[in-house]
Structure formats: C-alpha cells, structure tokens
Amino acid sequence: MNDQIEFLKARVGAGKMTRREFVGRVGALGVTAAAANTMLASAVQAAGPVKGGTLKIGSVGGESTNSLDPALAASQVPFHNLYQFGETLVNVEADGSLQNRLAEVVESTADAKTWTFKIRSGVDFHNGKALTAQDVLRTMERHSNEESKSGALGILRGIESMKAEGDTFSLTLATPNADLPYLMADYHLMIQPDGGFENPAAGVGTGAYMLEVDEPGVRHLWKKNPNYWDSSLGHVDEVEILAINDSTARMAALQSGQVHVVNRVDPKVAGLLGRAPGISVKNVGGPGHYVFIMHVDTAPFDNNDLRMALKYAINRQEMVDKILRGYGSVGNDMPINASYPLFDETIPQREYDPEKAAAHYKASGHDGSPIVLRVADGAFPGAVDAAALFQQSAKAAGIPLEIKREPNDGYWSEVWNKQPFCASYWGGRPVQDQMYSTAYLSTADWNDTRFKNADFDAKLLAARAELDTTKRKAMYSELGMMVRDEGGLICPMFNDYVDGVSDKVQGWIKDPTGDLMSGKVSQKVWLA
C-alpha cells in the first residue's frame, strides 16, 4: 500500500493529479481524509517550490508616517518592506548561522580587527545599475557619518576606517570583534545604490521584489524582480503587505482568507485561531524578552539586596502561563536565553521564593514605603496585567509595590530610560556581544538599568576579541551571572513570535530571530 501512496504522492507533486483525486484514491486505500490532506501537504512540499501568485501579508505596526528609508525603520511593516527590496551583506539564518548574501567571501585578519567583504559580482540594483563595493561603502557611510539618524548608528560606532577597493569592501575596527559579520546582518544596513544618499526612501535595492505601490500605513505592493540574482529565492510573483494594526481585524482577515499570513497573534486567541479550518499557528521562541528594569544608581534600587528581593519576588512561571499563555519561556534575569549561540545551559534558573525575597528585603533596610513601578500597555502586550501579578507575588513576600499606570503615548520618550523602575521590552540581538554592548556596557546609550561595572566592561571587550569559542562561552556565562546577580534587570519571560499562517502557504521555516520568518517569508515560501 505504501508504494501506491508514494506513487500517488509523486503524481500530485508533479502536478498530474488534483487534490480531490488524490484524497479519493488514497481514501480507497483506507486512509482518512484528514490524513490524506496531511500527506498531500508533505507531497507538495517535497515536490519543491511552486512559482507564482500573490502572497498577502497582514502585519501589525504600519503607520501613515512610515518611510522606506532603511535608516528609519522601527516598526514591523517598514521592517518587512526592507526585506522585499533590500539585501544585506550577510544574513543570519534560522539556525543562527551566517549566510553570505551580497558578500561572496567574508574574511578577517587573525586579530579580528580588519574585516574584508568580497562583493558579489553580476548583481544589479532595481534601477539597472550594477552593485559595486563603492555602493557598500557609501551605505555604511550614510548609516555611520556625523549626520546619521540611523537606527544602526550604535552598532557601527566601533568602526575606525572603511574603504572600497575593486570588488572588496573592508573595514578596520577600533577594538577587535569576532562577531562583526553578525552586525552587518542588521536590517537597517540594506545596501542601496550610492548608499541611498540621494533618495533614501526610494525603495531601490538588489532584493527579490521591486516597489510597485507605496501607501504608508495602508499597503505596499511589490513585484518580482526579473533580474534577481538568486533563483532559489522569491517564488511568488507579487507580495502585498497590508497594515492591519487592530488585532481582531488582522485575525478576521486571515480567517476570511484575505491575507495568507499575519504576525503578532495575541496569545489569548492563538488557541482558538489554531482550531479554525485551513489555518495553523506557528510559534517560535526567540531572543525577545519582557522586562521590569531598575536603575541601579537610583535609590532605593542602588541597594543590591533590594534588587535581589524584587528578583526573588516575581513568579516567572505564572507570568508565562497567564500573560503569554504558554507562548514563551521563563527568563532568568539576564537578557540571554538558549536562542543565542554560546549560551551556557548550566546557569541555574532563578525561582519565585517569597522567603528569600523577604530576607533580602529585610537586609536591604528599606523603610517599607511602597516601591513605585511604572507601566503602560505599550511597554509590552499584557504589561499592566503582568505588573498586577508582580504586585501580588511581591505582597506575599511582604514587599509593597505601587503600580503607576502611564499613557502609551510618549512612554518610550518620557518613562523608559528616565524613570527608575518601569516595564519595558527588548527585541533581542543575534549575538550575545551585541545584546550586552547595546544595553549593559557602561557607555551604552540604551543602558536602561544604569548598570556600570568596570569589571563587566573589561570582560565583555575581552570576550569580543576572543576567537576560541570554548573560552568565549565561559566568559559569556560569567557576564550573564554578573547581570543576573548584580544588575537591574528583572526578566520574567522570553516571548515567542506567534504567526498565523494559511495552509496555502508552503515552505514555512521557524526562524527565531523575528516574526514572519524574520522578514524572509516572501523569499522562501510559495503558494500551493
């Protein structure tokens, strides 16, 4: 019987048999309709990508104020737009490895200080111009020069000099960094013709799709680039990205078949959505985490006993169960989890322990006045509820928390990184060094816990230059423990990326670095 099914599967795969015929024929062999459909899906999958069709994406985070300028991308729709038209030098793949895109070869000197990228030949921009190392140099200049307003400015700050020679682009760093190629995969760093100096928001790059319609906050239509250099990617003819910010409207659009994929499925409805016919919910654990942050230089949080008291007073598992409904994992008061390379699995998990919390609280000598925690729903989905849970679990340890609700509007400019204790969110970074350098180095702009520790800084820089991965892993483990036991971060949970996907979409890959396959959905999937 198996031979017969295999034969039928091959026929479907080759397009010689319809779905209805297939289900009928295997049904005759005693297979139920549901099982037949699953077989069919795998048969189609195995047969390889089908070309054509319009992939419709319903995405959160699209505003009328959006621009296609890669330097300014800060929400979901602009992020996904970038991956339609643009490409970076290298890509971080779903398994955490690096893949060369516009760079053909990446090399460094033995001290990891000078990096050379050989630029791929025979690649054209959408405007017909050929890609050169000069374009790469100009792009990096635009994101790092004195007038830069780029979101990538911070990660390019360590570059001392850059140059383009022939078909190679090379840069020299002030201090060695073994992870530099990962930084080049940042989504802001889409290579644009002449660096995009002339018209940064033109939407012209080397990517698989070319701009057709640009209506910020409404929709973006992209057409297949006929001259795209990599024939293994970009199977659909058109990609339409609809900005659907309202969660209910987004789910309705998926259920009524108006879009094929949606991002940011609310954990509250994920179970229901997954049971709807023709739809599956895809979740993948990533580096993004929901946090409560304390300024370690501001009273009363300058007392490590008080910080430890609060860290022991939070029930992490309860938060994962009630706020994330299981779509996530518990945090350990450090910004790193198993989704990062070189993560040390042996670091002990911190548990909710009201007794230890009470002991630390007593040792801190705090006067018993309520500790003000500022929170808004915009900090992370369910932040207000999470704060209420925190208040209750802390109360059990005798620690009084006072929750102060702040407006969503202006939260990131007025509360976060300004007030000493508030709720926040971190999207995570591809490698540990980048996460720590972004938010825990003394000199970091976004050191939102005011964690300033000379010992930590020195170790972080040493780890960055260390090329032996065993030693490096041990160093990162030590750094993690420092943040966990001395830092101002209370990290109750890492959230999953939860997407809703129609069964028409084939070739889905779980990519832990972002929603909708980290922006690469349109490059890799096809429509059945």
Partner 1 sequence: MHPVLKLVSQRLALGILLLFSASVLIFVGTQILPGDVAQSILGQSATPEALANLRAELGLNDPPMTRYFNWLYAALHGDLGTALTNGQDIATSMGRRLGNTLFLAFWAAVISVPLAIFLGLLAVRYRDRWPDKLISGVTLASISIPEFLIGYLVVYFVAVKLGWFSSVAMINDGMSLLEKLNAIALPVFVLVLVVLAHMMRMTRAAILNVMQSAYIETAELKGLSSFNVIFRHAFPNAISPIVNVVMLNLAYLVVGVVVVEVVFVYPGMGQYLVDHVAKRDVPVVQACGLVFAGVYIGLNMIADIVSILANPRLRHPK
- Residues of the shown chain interacting with partner 1 in the complex, contacts defined by CB under 8 A: 58, 63-67, 69, 72, 74-75, 146-151, 153-154, 201, 213, 215-219, 242-246, 248-249, 252-253, 255-259, 409-410, 412-414, 416, 425, 445-446
Q: How far is the CB of 240 from partner 1 (least distance, A)?
A: 10
Q: Do 198 and 45 touch, CB atoms closer than 8 A?
A: no
How far apart CA 288 and CA 290 sit, in angstroms, is: 7
- Which stretches of 263-420 are assigned E, i.e. beta strand? 279-294, 328-330, 371-375, 401-405
- Token match 């609700």: residue? 405
Rounded to 10 deg, the angle between the 2-13 and 19-28 helix axes is 180
Between 81 and 477, whose beta carbon lies closer to partner 1?
A: 81
Which pair of tokens denotes residue 503? 């069964």
Between 187 and 340, whose beta carbon lies closer to partner 1?
A: 187
- Which stretches of 98-158 are assigned E, i.e. beta strand? 98-100, 103-108, 114-119
Between 309 and 375, whose beta carbon lies closer to partner 1?
A: 375
Between 242 and 309, whose beta carbon lies closer to partner 1?
A: 242
Task: Give the bridge partners for 497, in sequence order.
Answer: 284
- Which stretches of 216-350 are assigned E, i.e. beta strand? 219-224, 238-243, 261-262, 279-294, 328-330
How far apart CA 408 and CA 273 sit, in angstroms, is: 27
Between 153 and 403, whose beta carbon lies closer to partner 1?
A: 153
Q: How far is the CB of 351 from partner 1 (least distance, A)?
A: 30
Q: How far is the CB of 473 from partner 1 (least distance, A)?
A: 28
Between 162 and 201, whose beta carbon lies closer to partner 1?
A: 201
Run of H or E including 44: helix 33-46
Between 343 and 412, whose beta carbon lies closer to partner 1?
A: 412
**What is the number of H-type helices and E-type strands within the chain?**
18, 19
Torsion angle (degrees, nearest 10) of CA 3, 4, 7, 12: -140
Q: How far is the CB of 157 from partner 1 (least distance, A)?
A: 9
Closest CA to 243 of 271, 221, 212, 276: 221
How far apart CA 295 and CA 487 sit, in angstroms, is: 9
Q: Which residues contact 345 (CB under 8 A, 6 or more apart)?
A: 338
Between 242 and 505, whose beta carbon lies closer to partner 1?
A: 242
Q: How far is the CB of 57 from partner 1 (least distance, A)?
A: 12
- Token match 């260390």: residue? 466
Q: How far is the CB of 67 from partner 1 (least distance, A)?
A: 4
How far apart CA 388 and CA 386 sit, in angstroms, is: 5
Q: How far is the CB of 197 from partner 1 (least distance, A)?
A: 14
Q: Do 177 and 115 touch, CB atoms closer than 8 A?
A: no
Closest CA to 514 of 333, 282, 309, 260: 282
Between 26 and 423, whose beta carbon lies closer to partner 1?
A: 423
Between 258 and 442, whose beta carbon lies closer to partner 1?
A: 258
